[in-house]
Structure 1
């Protein structure tokens, strides 16, 4: 017994042809992949870098201590 596919066969073939014709890296082929693969990690790296620099500044100048 065979199960029906998730997508119609014609629609699946059309998407396969689309993805096979794009000459990009595999992880950047979808429409929103640049957001998830580039923008979010870049934002996290910038935020963590900012916090690290702030912590080093506070430790070197002795500010921001809890009493």
Structure 2
């Protein structure tokens, strides 16, 4: 939860600051930093599911598009699926 603190810098002005609790405890953050800094993989492949999003999905899209292009060329060369 966010807490709002009012601080007086001058008699006429008030400064509104927001303080929030950290998302991750410091110890866990330091452990994750050490883990990611010691890996020898590329930066975009360091996370748990990064291989899926960076490698598998683009390969699946490329394979699907090549299949559809090949099927279209085959259908055009054999006259399949023409509208009359």
Alignment of 1:10-25 (within 5 A): 10-25=27-42
- For the residue of structure 2 that corresponds to 1:65, the secondary structure is coil
Q: Which has the higher helix share?
A: 1
Q: Runs (4+) of structure 1 moved beyond 3 Å?
A: none
Bigger relative contact order (CA 8 A; separation at least 6): 2
State the Cα RMSD in Å: 1.2
Q: How many residues end up aligned between the 2 structures?
A: 67
Q: Which runs of 5+ in 2 are unaligned?
A: 1-17
Q: Which runs of 5+ in 1 are unaligned?
A: none
Q: Which has the higher strand share?
A: 2
TM-score normalised to structure 1 length? 0.90
TM-score normalised to structure 2 length? 0.73
Quote the Cα distance in structure 2 between the aligned partners of 1:36 and 1:66.
Answer: 39
